């Protein structure tokens, strides 16, 4: 029996009674002492900027099991030794709901401190429950470890006996080893493939191989990925017809996560499959995300211009800011009333599609109407997400599920679909306030969906350096194996390099069922990572409640970015440089400015220093945009990033000579400047960006004046060309005004 002695953690009521370390970390003082006994929870309210401290007296060798259950607030839990050394910091990726497990051993006797604080300084108040589940004596800990080892041995035996050993992660090696996966899929219409990171080569390759198997052997005909739907049609055009450039179409999805050699190889395979006349059933490519709206706006406006001139004129005025990729970036900084009005206009547009369906279908056919209406829905989804950043995940996952359902309905009752997204999105997870995509789809499809989670043992992957924003950009990371008690560590111990496990075949009772029925740590890494925060990316989960099956890769490497991958890191400068563009850098670009020629070329832009008619001196810079159609919806630009420290408390003026040769709606030059404040919340709206429109063909001066607050961190400024045409900039200056 577990000991219930050493009653306890007590809430600190002041630095006189508190261990010194708790006073040092600034724990919030309370008016009452709350004794927390083993198995007796305490629930409290916690707001951003606040922290609560607890203490416990332990003797050497004792082991503590505790858990902090988050209920509307994302907390960080820290454990301190009697000497004040930090022993542990826990912050799993559970967000504002879910457990933060805290386990530690007392290496010496004395008072240990536990501090619970809100992750985000300005977070709204929420509640948490702290519970000490056990305090074990040394002998009890030894017995617990022995019992855990026996259970784990049973688990290892089950995994080795039932796991499907896969010969390779690479496509093109036949399907003899994959045959047992057919029974895992059964007659399901939808197979969801997750991933434990957004940057693992072997995950991407194994997904390609799974797609090859499902298409070749089981008759699947549709593929969807966690990427913007409107631009996904460009990839589909290549896959179906061979028209276009697959590398540029892939880059046009905007997601650096997928702009890799592995995903491009899969897209090329899809084209090869469709080009083979022996394959009667062709496979299609879709995006099902909704994080970009400009292309959707262009598709809707183009459709209406051919079917309903009056509605096209109204929609053009209503969607002008959304259709422009430069102004669209600033929507989140608009006052709530203006954002709501824009959302209302988008909803009215969808209603008009429904009201006039018969007339529209007579003019364009059912297929064109359905696709155009879906693009209008994408705009509503996108604006809904940005209107309420606090619930962005809720809106996004619901919208992605809606879009997957639309694809299945659009492709017909015989269609079978494979989708690709992160583990967190595909999981059938009912816990917490956020209903993830996988849960929405389970409600809609039931047993007609099979979810494959992914896990790995150790090795490499790529991710953006945290904390955000980081100027280091995309980095390669390598992580070691996790402890034996975790899911990932246990799978390493199976000795299976690549495998598939049917979690629905788990026994209903006994040691194996109990082991899988308890939360086990597994890595969950999205777009960002930092070595210093590595423990925070190990999330406890009850895996069989999230996935039907698990795909496992023991050792991994980084996904290989294409040349059109993410922008390079931006250099933070103490002062602006090369403002007259007399210095020429690599490839003819202006030295000292952030310009990525490879990526901009993908989107139809080139930027180079030219001696053709500068405003003064020998050179200026020219930005050139190709005529439509192009891949993606963005703008060509050049940027500098300045440390705001010397400008704090001052008015700062950005001036430049500029001109543009552009014609047509939405084509323009933009001189812009942005003052950024510290990032204290991932849901805070972006800082407003001041800009001046440039459309005149002759050189003219333009200027922007901003007030730099004492808390500012950076000043960013630059020039952008939106759409097709040419624009020139010269004689830029950044100066402090009296």
pLDDT tens string 219-255 = 999 999 999 999 999 999 999 999 999 999 999 999 9
Specify the pLDDT at position 567: 65
Q: CA-CA-CA-CA torsion for 349, 350, 351, 355, nearest 10 degrees?
A: 100
- Confirm if 251 and 244 have CB atoms less than 8 A apart: no
Q: At residue 115, does pLDDT exceed 50? A: yes
Count CB neighbours of 708 within 10 A: 18
* 13 has pLDDT over 50: no
Computed over every residue of the chain, the mean pLDDT equals 90
Please state, in angstroms and rounded to a whole number, the distance separating the CA atoms of residues 459 and 558: 8
What is the phi/psi pair of residue 627, to 5°?
-65, 155
User: Does 2.60.120.380 match the CATH number of domain 9-143?
Assistant: yes
Q: How far apart are CA 274 and CA 66, in angstroms?
A: 55
Alpha-carbon gap, residue 192 to 423, rounded angstroms: 9
According to the model, what pLDDT value does residue 78 have? 92
**At residue 326, does pLDDT exceed 90?**
yes
SS3 637: strand
DSSP letters for 372-402: HHHHHHHHHHHHHHHH-GGGHHHHHHHHHHH
- Which one is predicted more confidently, 646 or 92? 646
Cα dihedral 269, 274, 279, 283 sign:
positive
Pairwise CA distance, residues 654 & 52, whole Å = 46
Contacts of 374 (CB under 8 A, 6+ apart): 229, 403, 406, 410
pLDDT attached to residue 317: 94
> From the CB of residue 658, how many other CB atoms can be counted at a distance below 10 Å?
25
Residue 209 is encoded by which pair of tokens?
Answer: 């191989």
Of 32-36, 104-108, 651-655, which gets the smallest average pLDDT? 32-36
Compute CA 449 distance to the chain's CA centroid, rounded to the nearest angstrom. Answer: 23
More confident residue, 570 or 172: 172
622-627 mean pLDDT: 94
Q: Residue 405: its pLDDT value, please?
A: 98
Share of the chain above pLDDT 90, in %: 73
| CB 567, CB 259: distance < 8 Å | no
The per-residue pLDDT for 265 is 98
pLDDT at 72 over 50: yes
> DSSP of 224-252, one letter per residue?
EEEEEHHHHHHHHHHHHH--S-HHHHHHT
To 5 degrees, how large is the angle CA 319–CA 325–CA 331?
A: 65
Q: Where are the domains of the chain?
A: 9-143, 164-185+193-289+416-556, 294-385, 572-737
**301-307 CB contacts, 8 Å cutoff, 24+ apart:** 303/364, 303/368, 303/372, 303/375, 304/372, 306/363, 306/364, 307/359, 307/360, 307/363, 307/364
The percent of residues above 70 in pLDDT, for the chain, comes to 92
Cα–Cα distance measured from residue 734 to residue 360, given in angstroms and rounded to the nearest whole number: 53
Residue 596, classed as helix, strand or coil, is coil
Tokens for 59, please give them. Answer: 């003797």
pLDDT at 169 over 90: yes
User: Average pLDDT in the 494-502 region?
Assistant: 98
| pLDDT given at position 4 | 31
Per residue in 513-529, pLDDT (tens digit) is 999 999 999 999 999 99
Rounded Cα–Cα distance for residues 154 and 657 (Å): 74
What would the two tokens of residue 537 be? 């990316």
CA R_g for the chain: 28
Look at residue 368 in the predicted model and tell me its pLDDT.
97
Q: Which CATH number fits domain 164-185+193-289+416-556: 3.40.1660.10, 2.40.170.20, 2.50.20.10, 3.90.1150.10?
A: 3.40.1660.10
Each residue's pLDDT tens digit, 677-712: 876 555 566 788 999 999 999 999 999 999 999 999
Instruction: Give residue for tokens 């457990």.
Output: 99
The pLDDT score that the predictor gives to residue 247 is 94
Q: In the predicted model, is pLDDT for residue 673 greater than 60?
A: yes
pLDDT (average), residues 479-488? 94
User: Under a CB-based contact definition with an 8 Å cutoff, are residues 194 and 454 in contact?
Assistant: yes
The alpha-helical segments, DSSP class H, found in 457-542 are: 487-493, 511-516
Contacts of 267 (CB under 8 A, 6+ apart): 235, 238, 239, 246, 249, 250, 285
- Predicted pLDDT at 686: 72
Three-state SS for 167-199 is: CCCCCCCCCCCCCCHHHHHCCCCEEEECCCCCC
- Specify the higher pLDDT residue, 599 or 175: 175
Confidence of residue 27 (pLDDT cuts 50, 70, 90): very low
Query: What whole-number distance in Å separates Cα of residue 27 and Cα of residue 15?
Result: 9
Query: What is the separation of C-alpha 548 from the centre of its chain, rounded to a whole number of angstroms?
Result: 23
| % helix, strand, coil for the chain, step of 5 | 35, 30, 35
Q: What is the mean pLDDT of residues 55-60?
A: 85
Q: Where are the alpha helices (DSSP H) in 287-431?
A: 294-307, 309-318, 320-323, 325-328, 336-355, 357-364, 366-387, 392-411, 423-426
Element containing residue 686 per DSSP (H, E): none
pLDDT value at 294 more than 80: yes
| Model pLDDT for residues 718-733, shown as the tens digit of each residue | 999 999 999 999 999 9
Sheet containing 75-80, strands listed edge to edge, beginning at the edge strand earlier in sequence: 35-36, 9-11, 51-58, 110-118, 75-80, 86-90
Could you check whether 9-143 and 164-185+193-289+416-556 share the same CATH topology?
Answer: no
pLDDT tens digit sequence for 197-212: 999 999 999 999 999 9
What average pLDDT does the segment 550-564 reach?
A: 95
**Confidence band for 97, pLDDT divided at 50, 70 and 90:** confident
For 541-585, give the DSSP string.
E-HHHH-SEEEEEEEE-B--B-TT-SPPPPPEESS---TT--SB-
Q: Which tokens belong to 398?
A: 């619901």
Question: Is the backbone peptide bond immediately before 317 cis, with ω within 30 degrees of 0?
Answer: no
Quote the CA–CA distance of 120 and 262 in Å, as a whole number. Answer: 36
Pick the CATH number of 572-737 from 3.30.1330.10, 2.60.40.10, 1.10.10.10, 2.60.120.260: 2.60.120.260
Q: How many CB atoms lie within 10 A of CB 480?
A: 8
Task: Quickly count: other Cβ atoms within 10 Å of residue 677's Cβ.
Answer: 13
Q: How large is the average pLDDT for residues 614-634?
A: 92
CB atoms closer than 10 angstroms to residue 81: 20
pLDDT at 597 over 50: yes
The two tokens of residue 297 are 């706006």
pLDDT for 22 beyond 50: no
């Amino acid at each position: 029996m577990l000991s219930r002695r050493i009653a306890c953690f007590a809430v600190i009521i002041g630095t006189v009674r508190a261990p010194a370390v708790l006073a040092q970390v600034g724990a919030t003082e309370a008016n009452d002492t709350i004794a927390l006994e083993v198995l007796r929870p305490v629930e409290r309210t916690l707001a951003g900027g606040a922290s609560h401290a607890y203490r416990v007296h332990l003797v050497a060798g004792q082991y503590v099991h505790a858990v902090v259950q988050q209920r509307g607030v994302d907390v960080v839990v820290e454990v301190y030794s009697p000497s004040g050394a930090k022993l542990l910091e826990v912050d799993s990726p559970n967000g504002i709901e879910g457990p933060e497990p805290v386990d530690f051993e007392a290496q010496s006797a004395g008072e240990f401190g536990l501090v619970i604080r809100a992750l985000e300084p300005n977070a709204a108040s929420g509640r948490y429950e702290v519970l000490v589940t056990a305090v074990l004596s040394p002998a009890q800990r030894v017995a617990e470890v022995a019992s855990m080892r026996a259970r784990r041995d049973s688990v290892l035996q089950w995994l080795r006996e039932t796991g499907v050993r896969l010969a390779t992660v690479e496509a093109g090696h036949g399907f003899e080893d994959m045959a047992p996966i057919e029974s895992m899929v059964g007659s399901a219409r939808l197979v969801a493939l997750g991933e434990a990171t957004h940057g693992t080569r072997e995950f991407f390759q194994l997904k390609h191989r799974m797609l090859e198997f499902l298409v070749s052997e089981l008759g699947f005909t549709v593929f969807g990925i966690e990427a913007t739907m409107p631009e996904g049609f460009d990839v589909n055009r290549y896959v179906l017809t061979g028209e276009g450039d697959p590398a540029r179409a892939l880059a046009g999805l905007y997601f650096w996560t997928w702009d890799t050699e592995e995903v491009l190889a899969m897209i090329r395979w899809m084209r090869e499959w469709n080009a083979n006349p022996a394959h009667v059933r062709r496979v299609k490519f879709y995006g099902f995300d909704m994080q970009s709206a400009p292309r959707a706006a262009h598709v809707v406006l183009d459709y209406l211009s051919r079917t309903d001139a009056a509605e096209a004129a109204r929609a053009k005025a209503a969607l002008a800011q959304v259709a422009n990729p430069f102004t669209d970036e600033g929507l989140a900084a608009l006052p709530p009333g203006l954002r709501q009005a824009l959302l209302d206009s988008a909803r009215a547009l969808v209603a008009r599609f429904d009201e006039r369906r018969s007339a529209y279908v007579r003019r364009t056919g059912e297929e064109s109407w359905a696709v155009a209406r879906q693009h209008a829905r994408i705009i509503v989804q996108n604006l809904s997400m940005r209107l309420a950043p606090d619930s962005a995940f809720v809106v996004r996952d619901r919208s992605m599920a809606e879009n997957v359902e639309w694809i299945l309905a659009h492709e017909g009752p015989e269609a079978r679909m494979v989708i690709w997204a992160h583990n967190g999105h595909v999981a059938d997870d009912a816990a917490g306030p956020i209903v993830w995509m996988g849960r929405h789809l389970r409600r809609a499809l039931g047993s007609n969906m099979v979810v494959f989670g992914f896990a790995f043992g150790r090795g490499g992957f790529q991710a953006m350096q945290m904390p955000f924003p980081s100027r280091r950009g995309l980095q390669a990371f390598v992580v070691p194996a996790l402890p034996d008690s975790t899911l990932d560590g246990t799978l390493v111990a199976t000795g299976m390099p690549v495998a598939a496990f049917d979690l629905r075949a788990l026994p209903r009772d006994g040691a194996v069922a109990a082991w899988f029925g308890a939360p086990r740590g597994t890595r969950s890494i999205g777009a960002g990572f930092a070595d210093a925060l590595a423990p925070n990316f190990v999330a406890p989960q009850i895996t069989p409640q999230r996935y039907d099956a698990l795909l496992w890769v023991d050792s991994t490497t980084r996904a290989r970015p294409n040349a059109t991958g993410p922008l390079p890191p931006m250099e933070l400068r103490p002062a602006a440089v090369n403002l007259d563009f007399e210095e020429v850098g690599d490839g003819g670009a202006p030295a000292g400015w952030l310009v990525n020629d490879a990526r901009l070329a993908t989107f139809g832009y080139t930027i180079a220093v030219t001696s053709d008619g500068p405003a003064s001196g020998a050179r200026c810079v020219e930005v050139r945009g190709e005529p439509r159609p192009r891949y993606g919806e963005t703008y060509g630009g050049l940027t500098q990033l300045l440390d705001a420290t010397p400008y704090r408390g001052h008015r700062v003026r950005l001036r430049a000579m500029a001109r543009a040769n552009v014609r047509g709606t939405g084509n323009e030059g933009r001189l812009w400047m942005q003052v950024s404040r510290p990032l204290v919340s991932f849901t805070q709206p972006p800082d407003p960006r001041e800009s001046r429109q440039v459309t005149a063909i002759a050189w003219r001066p333009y200027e922007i004046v901003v007030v730099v607050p004492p808390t500012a961190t950076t000043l960013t400024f630059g020039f952008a060309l939106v759409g097709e045409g040419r624009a020139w900039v010269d004689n830029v200056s950044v100066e402090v005004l009296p």
